[in-house]
Structure 1
Amino acid sequence: MTASTIAYRASLLDSLGDPAEVGLEHSCRYFEDGLLVVENGRILAIGPANELLPTLAADIPVHHFKDALITPGFIDTHIHYPQTGILGAYGNQLLDWLENHTFPAEQAFASREHADQVADVFLGELLRNGTTTAMVFGTVHPESVDAFFNKAATLNLRMIAGKVLMDRNAPSTLTDTPEQGYQDSKALIERWHGKGRLHYAVTPRFAPACSHEQLARAGQLLSEYEGLYLQTHLAENTREIEWVKTLFPDQGGYLDVYDHHGLLGKRSVFAHGLHLCDDEWKRLAETRSAIAFCPTSNLFLGSGVFNLTRAEHEGVCVGMGTDVGAGTSFSMLQTLNEAYKVMQLQHQPLHPFKSFYLATLGGARALELDQQIGTLEPGSEADFVVLDYAATPLLAFRMQQAQSLEERLFVLMTLGDDRAVKATFVMGERAHSRT
C-alpha cells in the first residue's frame, strides 16, 4: 500500500453474473458493512470492514459513508449528447420526432463553441447521476466528437463515441458523403481511439439514413482498425421497419442490412431491438452483438416494449440505455424504474438484482469492458457511485420499512434519481459530490 491508498466504508454491492444464468442467489456480492480499498485508481481490496480495517496502515484515510450503498458506476449503452437540449420535447413518434426536434437541434453542432458547451453540460449530468461510462452519439460534424472527447479526456472518463454517418433522408446540413464520412471518421479514430480511456464507435445513424455505400465504408473502418465499436439503431419503430424494407429490398430484413456490410460483432451495440424476427435474434446471438434496452425512450415515443426474456433465452447480451433525448432522464435509477414497468406489461417481473446487473456488469459485458469496469473486483478500475438511502425525506422514510436488500434496491430504483447519488468516483477520484 502506498500514500495513494484510500479506503471507503459503506454497504457494498456488485454483480458477479447474470441472474438469468447463475441464479439470483449467486448473482451478486454484498457486504452490509463493507470496505472498499482503492490504490492508484484501481480497486485493491473489497470485503467486510471488520476484517479489512485491521490490515490497513495507520496513515490510510478511511471515508465512512453512513446509510449509503456503494456500487460500480453506472454504464449507459446508448445516449445522444447533442440531444441534451431537446430532452422532454413534446409529441411525435420516432420519424416525426427526428424531423421536428432532433435534426434542428443537431445542426447547431457545426459550431465547436456550441459543442463544447453542450458536452460540458452532458458529462456533468452523467456524473451527477452516477454514470461513469457511456456509449455516445455525436452529430455528423467532426467538431461534435472532438468537443466530447476533449472534455471526457479531461475528466479521465472511460467513454465511447463517434461521428454520425448519414448521407440521405436528412437535411442537407446534416448529411455527408460516403467518402467524407469515411475520411472524417478515420481522422477522429486516429486522433482519439485508445487515447487514455477513450474508444471510438463507427456510428451510422440508422439504416434509412445511410446508402449501401455509406454502410460499406462503415464496415471498411471496422476492418481497418483494431478494437473499434459499432453503434446504431435497430427495429425501434414499425414505420421505420417498413421504410427499411422499401430502401433495401434485396436484404432479408433490418438486421440483414447491417450484416450484409459486416457491421455485426462482439463490439457492436444495437439500440432498441423492439420488433425482431426469429432469425434476427439468432443472428445477434451468433455474432455476439449486443442490444441497448432503452425503456424510457421506447415509452416516450410509443415505439413498443423490449422482450428481455427473449434476449435471455437467445443468449443476446443486453445493457441499459437512457437514450437521452427521447429518453427523459439521465438517471439510470429512473431508467430501471421504467424497465420494471415495461417488463410488468409483459407479465415478466424484473428483479432488482437483475436491474442492477444490467446497469453495471451487464453494460460492461455488452461493451466488452467487463475486465476493466462494471464490478468492484480487485484490479478493476475504481469507477463507483455512492447511493444515499436517505437522500430525500420520502426515501429515508420508505427505507425504514424495507426488510431486505432486494427491497432497498427496489426502493432506490423506483424512488431514486440524481438526488440519491451522494458521490461519483472516477479512477478513484471524486468527480461529483452532491451539495
Structure 2
Amino acid sequence: MADAGSVSAQATAAPPATKGPRAGSGNGRRELLAATVGGVVESFDWTIYAVLAPYFASEMFPGDDPVAKLLGAYLGFAVGFVVRPFGSYVIGRISDRRGRRFGLMLSMILISGASFLLAALPTAAQIGVLAPLLLVAIRLVQGLSMGGENPSVAAYVTETAPKRLRFLYSGISYSGIILGNILCFGVLTVMLAVLGEDGVADGGWRIGFVVAGLLGLLSLWVRRTARESEEFTAGATDAPSAVAAAERRALFRASARNMTAVFLTTLGITVSYYFGTTYLPQYAERLGLSSGAEGTAAMLVPLTLLIVAMAASGILADRLGSTRTVRTGLGLLAVCTVPVFHAMGAEVLPVWVATVVHLLCLAAPLALFNVFFARLFPVQIRVVAMGLPFTAAVGLFGGTFPMVAEALAGAGHIALVPWLAAAACAVSFAATFLIRRPAHA
C-alpha cells in the first residue's frame, strides 16, 4: 500500500470549531472519561431495543403470529444498522472537519432524543401499521448516530491517549460499550423482578427507553468538559476546498487496502459480539436451558468479567504488540465457538460457563479494534476511512445476526448458529494478514 504520508503531509480539514474547552492532551484521562461514558450511553440506548424486543413485539407489530412479530422486532433492530455507514460518513466528515468533540456531542444528541421518542411511541392497536413504520424511522436516526459514534471515539482515543497506554485506553474506552450492556441487562432484570414478564410486555418496556434518554443527558454534560484532540487541531489548515478535496481523495486511494482489511476483520468481531452479548439469552431459551429472565440475569457476571479481560488485553497489547494479540483472540474464537456451545447444548457446560469462555476469547479483538483500526489511517480522513468499512460490516453481519439466528432456530437449524459465528471469525483471522501498517502509525 502507498504510504499515506507520501500523498500529503498537509491536513485537508476545515478549521475546527473554536468553542468549548481548549485543545489539549495531557494524560488523556478526561478525554478517556468522555469517550467511555458516551460509550455506555450509546450502547445502552442501542442495545436496550434488542433485549426488550421480545417484550414489545406483541404491542408494536400487528398480526397474530408471535414468531412473525418477534422477527419484525429484530428486523427493526437490523434496519438501524443499514444507515450506519451513511451516519459514519456524514458524522465522520463533521468529525474530520470540525473536530472529534463536536462529532461526539452530535451523535449523543441524536441517539438520546430518539430513545425518548421510542418511549412515547403509540402501539399498533392505537395507530395500526404506522407504529412499526415510526419505530423503524426512529431506529434509522439511532443508526445514523451510532454510525458516527464508534469511529469518532476511536479517533479521539487514538489521538489523546499516551502512546505507551494506547491499547489499555482502547480497552477501557470500549468497556463503556460493555457497561452499557450490563446496565441493559440490569435494568431489564429489575423490571422483570418488579413487573414480571407480563408487566414488561404490557407497556413496562417503555421504562427502559426513558432510562436510555436520561443517561444521554448525563453523557452530554460529561462530554461538554472534554477537550479537542491536539493532533486534530495541529493538522487543521485553511487550504482551499478544491485542494483539500483532491488530497482527501488521494489519501482514500492510498488507504483502500486497509479499509478492505477493516471490513473483513470486523466481520468476526461483530458476529461474535452480538452472539455473545445480545442473542445468547434467546439462544439458551431456544435450547430449553433457561427462561428469558434467567438468561438475562445470567449475563451480568460474564459481561463484568469481559471488562476485566479487555483491560488485561490492552495491557498485553501495549507490551507485546496489537496485531499478535488481535490474531490470538480471533483464532481462539474460530476454534472454540462450536465446541463450547455444543457442550452447552448437551448440558456438559452450564450456560454461564460457556458464556464466560466465549466472551474471554472475544476480549482481545473487542478491546483493541478501536485504536488498532484507527491507527491505520491518517488523521485527515481517520474517522471516515475507519468508519465506513467498520459500520458496513457491523450493519451487514452484526445487526442482522439476531434475526438470522432466530430464523435458523425457527426453521429447526439452531445448531448452525455457532458454526456461523466460527466461520466469520476464521475469515477475520485471515483478513488481519491484509493489513499494511502505514508510516504514520
Band the TM-score falls in, shorter-chain normalisation? under 0.3
TM-score, with normalisation over the residues of structure 1? 0.24
Name whichever structure is richer in helix by fraction: 2
Return the structure number with greater relative CO, CA threshold 8 A, min gap 6: 2
TM-score, with normalisation over the residues of structure 2? 0.24
Name whichever structure is richer in strand by fraction: 1
